[in-house]
Amino acid sequence: MSGKGFGQRQPSKIDKLVESAVRSCHKRHPESLDQIFDNLPVKLNKQVLNGTVAALETDIDALSWLCGYFASEINSSEDNQKPRHSITKLSKLLITSGMKPFCDFAPYPGCRIVILNTDKFESLPEEVKTIVQQAFNVTEQSGEEAQQINDALLQELTVT
């Protein structure tokens, strides 16, 4: 008789989805992530995303790739072969500079990044801020404007 799993917590649905999402990031397979994130309610999507980001915390390459995926820079496996992924590279730069994805900055569809923690961004070394400002059109918005944009993007992404 096998004691496998006896007395131990069985993985939840969220745990299994996070494990699958992490595996998809390691394999650089956006189609698998689409199958996960496109078929879940918003609340579960958030839980899976948070778990995936936490699981990838020490794997900066995979975490940066995930940011590129969420910014719509990587839509298919063939996109992995393209030579330039600016969101992925910028995400890696921000992460290695101490910013946390989906907390201090967030990738958005349309190959955009939103800086959520402006104080932390302002405290980055000048060369990092210069790279960001040279690579992207940086615009400042009020909290209300940012919330309106966020609501509009969420509306676009919500599957009914």
What ranges do the domains of the chain cover?
Answer: 13-157
Question: Can you tell me the mean pLDDT for 109-123?
Answer: 87
pTM reported for the whole predicted model: 0.80
The pLDDT tens digits of the residues spanning 70-89 come to 998 888 888 888 777 788 99
Residue 158 has pLDDT above 70, yes or no: no
Residue 14 has pLDDT above 80, yes or no: yes
Tokens of 113: 């990044």
d(C-alpha 124, C-alpha 140), whole Å = 17
Strands (E), 22-159: 105-108, 112-115
Residue 1 has pLDDT above 50, yes or no: no
Contact 53, 83 (CB under 8 A): no
Residue 128 has pLDDT above 70, yes or no: yes
| Diameter of the chain measured on Cα atoms | 63
